[in-house]
Structure 1
Amino acid sequence: MTESGEARGRDRVEGGDPVCWLSRVCPECGHLADGEQPAVCPRCGAAAGGSGDVR
């Protein structure tokens, strides 16, 4: 006995992470911020949205 595609689709659970966390990733070291990206990366000291060390 097989189920129709419609019956299988009802049992599927959608979930997971948000579509894009790119705005929360440090461009220099890849650190993922807990919230919105801070002005300076807490891991490497790079300025948000650009390269360079601002320590």
Structure 2
Amino acid sequence: MTFPGDEAVPITEPDGDVGGDPVCWLDRVCPDCGLFLTDRTASTCPRCGAARDR
């Protein structure tokens, strides 16, 4: 059912980059639990205790 004033909106390409987080942040993610590690000097993950990949 359509109503007065309803008009089809043309489909266009997305504006700019619609990607996710940059790959360069992968070294900041715990390989076991996925926590984003903010302390770059820590040798283990504060959530799960896994050793950080360096």
TM-score between the two structures when normalised by the length of structure 1: 0.48
In terms of Rg, which structure is larger?
2
TM-score between the two structures when normalised by the length of structure 2: 0.49
